[in-house]
Amino acid sequence: MIYISIPVRDEEQTIGVLLWKIRKVMAAFGRPYEVVVLDDASGDSTPQVLARYDGVLPLHVIRSEKPLGYGSAVELLLREIVARSPYPKRDVAITLQGDFTEDPQDLVGMVKTIEGGTDLVVGIPLLDGRGVPASHRVSRWLAPLVLGKAFRGAPVKDPLSGFRAYRVIVLKKALRGLDEGRNLVAADGWGANLELLFRVAPYARRIAEAPITADFLRRERASRFRVLPSLCGLLGLRRTVWPSSQESS
């Protein structure tokens, strides 16, 4: 089973077309799948759009009445997938954004890499994609300087990317390895992606990268990305020490 997890907040203009694209991609791929969406206190018509797709594709929606933030939303989604997965050693969890900047077609190659024996695949965005904002490019350039060893020692070239495929068993082991009452992810934004990789990587025997495309022109709302908060959020993770035994490809 392939679980495609999507955190959304006020994505009424893109979540419908994203789900339709996922349906088309997965029909051609021919693998069983389920889309798990966390509606993070949307105040627009996102819930109504999601309701229209109930029955059109295998969809499970979780609603939070108060905002959780990106990091907490992703963790809740991954915990839900771990709980739902009957075969964690075979099942795959995908993390995908709800603004349609990432192409669901790219998940096919990522899943095939998992099927080939890899436990974790990180999508590496090609920043020559359509409409990449200057603020995004500058932040991508500055992030390695802000993080230092925490960036250079990561098992992949871009530890900030959130488009990933996980073998569910590594998520299950990572959650089991937490101290009681502790969250898998405490940071938000890019920091959440970095922290999640740090928590999960020790349980992945093989880690791989996959090139992905990003089309920022498909996003119908104003960007929520802010340069200074994003970079400041990474400062607390500078002391991240990556396990030296990770196999990266």
CATH architecture of the domain with range 2-235: Alpha-Beta Complex (3.90)
| pLDDT surpasses 50 at 245 | no
Rounded to the nearest angstrom, the gap between the alpha carbon of residue 170 and the centroid of all alpha carbons in its chain is: 15
Work out the average pLDDT over 181-189. 90
- Report pLDDT for 141: 87
Work out the average pLDDT over 17-23. 96
Work out the average pLDDT over 56-62. 97
Question: Is 1:34 a contact under the CB 8 Å cutoff?
Answer: yes
Q: Quick one: angle between helices 70-84 and 189-200, nearest 10?
A: 40
Work out the average pLDDT over 210-219. 82
Work out the average pLDDT over 86-92. 98
Residue 97's contacts (CB-CB under 8 Å, 6 or more residues apart) are: 6, 7, 162, 163
- Report pLDDT for 129: 54
Any idea where the domains of the chain sit in the sequence?
2-235
| pLDDT surpasses 80 at 130 | no
| pLDDT surpasses 90 at 243 | no
Work out the average pLDDT over 146-154. 91
- Report pLDDT for 109: 97
Work out the average pLDDT over 35-42. 98
Work out the average pLDDT over 141-164. 92
φ and ψ at 139, to 5 degrees? -65, -40
